[in-house]
Structure 1
Amino acid sequence: MTYNFLTVEALTLDTVTAALAHCLGVQIQEVDAADEDTDQELRNWEALVLCEKATVEGDVSTYLDIYVQEAVRTQPTERELASAVARTAGTAVIFHAEEMLPSAYWLATEDGLVTRARVYESDGEETRYVIDRVEAPVARLPHVTVGRIPEVVRELEIVTPVADAFAAQLHRVSPEETGTAGTPFWMARSRLGAWEKLVRHMEASWAPSGWCPPDLYRERLDARDELEQVRGQLLPSIACLLQKALESLDALFVELTIDDTGGLLRKELPLTEDTASAHGWWWNRRPDPLPW
């Protein structure tokens, strides 16, 4: 298994070797760690754990490229190993998040905290890393802004079984129209997916993000509005399939929300007077509490 870490503090080869041996449950002599000054001919390429260490610039100091042989009994997840190395080496360890965003990372500290981090890489001759934001305070990074990182919520992998089944039915009827942006089939498929993502995210109590940005919440309510508009452009049989898909999702949305008699949602996400009537009943219900 391969792991790629950045560490805030500079680490020596001895520190890296000892930390990996401890965290992976192997002997120190079974770890081969090397940097740019290491004689490659003297390396133990048969070691159970191989690690390439490089010095980097910016808000981080060390890059670790780690390969763990299958023979090693302990095969932790990236999060587990990052947390263990942070604790053992006494540093903050940064590792890539699952989302397909170049700036999306997680950061683990020696005291057990794991939080989101936004990290940028420079495009210059020498790569520099800038830790732009973290979602929880990190003692080793007092200069870094603490705040939520909304773009990662948009990229969350949220399972949408209802929308997927509907999309498969559309594809059987007309693959070309289902895959062509702007067509009624494509609109129905994409907007149903957006609506289900909101409902499923709510159902999971907003996990794993713990919140939902207001602009994203608005977009997904707008998607539900657009489903009403596109319904009339579909074949009756397809419109019936869409209605059936919506029934279960709408019912779940009602179950997970309360009647917004005080108009709190509309105060948070105001509608213009000329478009208010075009919005559906879902604008009159809200999660309690609001997720932002």
Structure 2
Amino acid sequence: MTYNLLTVESLHLDTVAAALAQCLGVSVRDVDIVDEDTDQDLRNWDALVLCEKTTVSGDVSTSLDIYVQDSVRPQPTERELASAFAQLVPALVLFPAEEAPPSAYWLAAEDGLVTRVRLNASDDEEPRYTIDTVEAPVTRLPQVPVARIPEVVREQPIATPLAAAFTAHLQRFHPEESRTPGTPQWLANDRLCAWEKLVRQLESDWAPSGWCPPDLYRERLEARDELDQVRDQLSENVVALLQSALEPLDALFAELTVEDTGLLRKELHRPDARSSALGWWWNRRPDPLPW
């Protein structure tokens, strides 16, 4: 298994080797670690743990590329290794998040805190790293703003079984149209997926993030609007399948929300003048609002 860690602190080879050995339950002799100045010909490629340490610049100082042989058991997750490593050294350890944005990282601190962080890299030949935002206060980073990081919420994987069934039908009977952006079939598929994501997040109390950015919430209400608008452009069998997916989603949304008299539209900057043209879902809201 491979691990990619960054540390705020500059670390010595011996410190890294000792911490990795303890975290992974192996002897220090079984950890082969090198830096930029190490002769590659002297490496022990049969070691249980192989690590390349690189010096980087900016708000982080050390990059660790770690490979652990399959024979090492148990094999921790990247989060588990980063957290254990942070507490042993001690150090602030960053590791990549699962979401698509390249700036999406997690930070593990020596006190056990694990929080999201936005890490930006410059376009220089040797990138300079900047810790832009953390989602929880980090004692040793008092200068870094504390704020929620909205872009990762958009990228989080959310199961949408009803939309998936609708997608499978479209791909079987309308393969070209369903894959062509802008066609009624593509729009119906895309907007149904967005609506189901909102309903599933509401159902799970906004897991896995615990919140929803207002602009994303608004987009997904607008996706529900567009589903009504695109119906007339779809064949009868597709409309029927779409309706069978919408009915349970709409019912669940209604069940999990409360009647709203304008707070939601105000929060989302949706003009009240257009309220008569809005679907009923604009007149219901989560309680409390998820942002």
TM (normalized to structure 1)? 0.97
Once the two structures are superposed, the pairs formed by residues 24-63 of structure 1 within 5 Å of their partners are 24-63=24-63
CA offsets per residue over residues 65-93 of structure 1, 9 Å max, x none? 00000010120111110101101110010
Residue equivalent to 1:140: 140
Q: Which runs of 4+ in 1 moved over 4 A?
A: none
Q: In the aligned structure 2, how far is the partner of 1:43 from the partner of 1:187?
A: 55
Once the two structures are superposed, the pairs formed by residues 117-196 of structure 1 within 5 Å of their partners are 117-196=117-196
Q: Secondary structure at the match of 1:196?
A: helix
234-243 or 13-22, which deviates more: 234-243
Whether 1:212 aligns to 2:212 is yes
Whether 1:3 aligns to 2:6 is no
- Write the letter of the residue equivalent to 2:266: K
Q: In the aligned structure 2, how far is the partner of 1:17 from the partner of 1:271?
A: 56
CA offsets per residue over residues 104-145 of structure 1, 9 Å max, x none? 111111111111111111111221111111101111111111
For the 8 Å contact 2:103–2:119, the answer to whether it is kept is yes
> CA RMSD of the aligned region, Å?
1.0
Once the two structures are superposed, the pairs formed by residues 75-94 of structure 1 within 5 Å of their partners are 75-94=75-94
Once the two structures are superposed, the pairs formed by residues 198-209 of structure 1 within 5 Å of their partners are 198-209=198-209
Whether 1:287 aligns to 2:286 is yes
- Write the letter of the residue equivalent to 1:161: P
For the 8 Å contact 2:265–2:272, the answer to whether it is kept is no
Q: Secondary structure at the match of 2:76?
A: coil
Residue equivalent to 1:267: 266
Q: Secondary structure at the match of 1:64?
A: strand
CA offsets per residue over residues 13-52 of structure 1, 9 Å max, x none? 0100000000000011111111111222222111100100
Q: In the aligned structure 2, how far is the partner of 1:74 from the partner of 1:216?
A: 39
- Write the letter of the residue equivalent to 2:132: D
For the 8 Å contact 2:35–2:52, the answer to whether it is kept is yes
Q: In the aligned structure 2, how far is the partner of 1:196 from the partner of 1:9?
A: 43
Q: From the superposition, tell whether residues 198 and 273 of structure 1 become closer, same or farther in structure 2 (CA, over 3 Å).
A: same
- Write the letter of the residue equivalent to 2:237: S
Q: In the aligned structure 2, how far is the partner of 1:2 from the partner of 1:18?
A: 18
Residue equivalent to 2:64: 64
Once the two structures are superposed, the pairs formed by residues 248-259 of structure 1 within 5 Å of their partners are 248-259=248-259
Q: In the aligned structure 2, how far is the partner of 1:291 from the partner of 1:271?
A: 17
Q: In the aligned structure 1, how far is the partner of 2:39 from the partner of 2:31?
A: 16
Q: In the aligned structure 2, how far is the partner of 1:116 from the partner of 1:187?
A: 33
Deviation at 1:274, TM superposition (A): 4.7
Q: Which runs of 5+ in 1 are unaligned?
A: none
Q: In the aligned structure 2, how far is the partner of 1:238 from the partner of 1:42?
A: 65
Q: In the aligned structure 2, how far is the partner of 1:277 from the partner of 1:271?
A: 12
Q: In the aligned structure 2, how far is the partner of 1:274 from the partner of 1:187?
A: 27
TM (normalized to structure 2)? 0.98
The size of the alignment, in residue pairs, is 291
CA offsets per residue over residues 168-209 of structure 1, 9 Å max, x none? 111112101111111110111000000000011111111111
Q: In the aligned structure 1, how far is the partner of 2:89 from the partner of 2:18?
A: 9
Q: In the aligned structure 1, how far is the partner of 2:267 from the partner of 2:125?
A: 45
Q: In the aligned structure 2, how far is the partner of 1:38 from the partner of 1:187?
A: 55
CA offsets per residue over residues 235-261 of structure 1, 9 Å max, x none? 11111111110001111111211112x
Q: In the aligned structure 1, how far is the partner of 2:34 from the partner of 2:75?
A: 21
Q: In the aligned structure 2, how far is the partner of 1:72 from the partner of 1:270?
A: 54
Q: Secondary structure at the match of 2:233?
A: coil
Same amino acid, percent of matched pairs? 70
Q: In the aligned structure 1, how far is the partner of 2:270 from the partner of 2:140?
A: 43
Residue equivalent to 1:276: 275
Deviation at 1:273, TM superposition (A): 4.4
Q: In the aligned structure 2, how far is the partner of 1:254 from the partner of 1:39?
A: 65
Q: In the aligned structure 2, how far is the partner of 1:247 from the partner of 1:3?
A: 44
